[in-house]
Structure 1
């Protein structure tokens, strides 16, 4: 299932898309690094709230960490591990994606 065109995501930037995951419509957070895209459920493991401060608008620290808009938890962008804040040691739930012919798709 195609989610978004790779070129629609700024390199080093984020996008939010909706997708059917295990029969549920879920908000996904996509992070692009060059030709690679990582995806996680748009849910902070601390309190189950969305990570974005407005739909599709995510905070990135000076250190290159994703920051939860609700409680300030900070996540590294390789595996989605929480490295600071109230859910330190926990991780975002990964959603497998792949880039095929310029489109980000569920794997």
Structure 2
């Protein structure tokens, strides 16, 4: 397996509370698109892939749909995911979950867990 990012994914200041953003990350030998969500001081990340059909969740690069209930909605088929554990709570993949990617906040930056210090 190759290395993780050696640079932060993004600055915490650039991620508004409640926001969903996309970031590219090096996971092993592959570059992957991630969905990153901030809820107060907690930042979570998942692969930007819907478990229903393997398509990206965003409707345009980095543009995500969020329901009034605060769910992430897949732009392709309407699957809805809660943003604490990434569980699908409505739509074609109910009961499945997004694939989590471990991140942490260090010195005001969002990093992949295990990424080298800069």
Which of 43, 60, 64 lines up with 1:58 in the alignment? 64
Asked whether 1:33 is paired with 2:26, we answer: no
Aligned to 1:88, the other structure's residue is in SS state coil
Which of 2, 5, 11 lines up with 2:11 in the alignment? 5
Distance 2:30 2:60 in 1: 21
Distance 1:27 1:90 in 2: 19
Which of 99, 103, 109 lines up with 1:97 in the alignment? 103
Aligned to 1:52, the other structure's residue is in SS state coil
Unaligned runs of 5+ in 1: none
User: Which one has the largest radius of gyration?
Assistant: 2
Which 4+ stretches in 1 moved above 2 angstroms? none
TM-score normalised by structure 1 residue count: 0.98
Q: CA deviation at 1:23?
A: 1.3
Q: Deviations over 1:59-78 (max 9, x none)?
A: 11011100000000000000
Distance 2:50 2:93 in 1: 8
Aligned to 1:51, the other structure's residue is in SS state coil
Aligned to 1:30, the other structure's residue is in SS state strand
Distance 1:84 1:67 in 2: 9
Asked whether 1:78 is paired with 2:111, we answer: no
Unaligned runs of 5+ in 2: 1-5, 114-118
Q: How many residues align?
A: 107
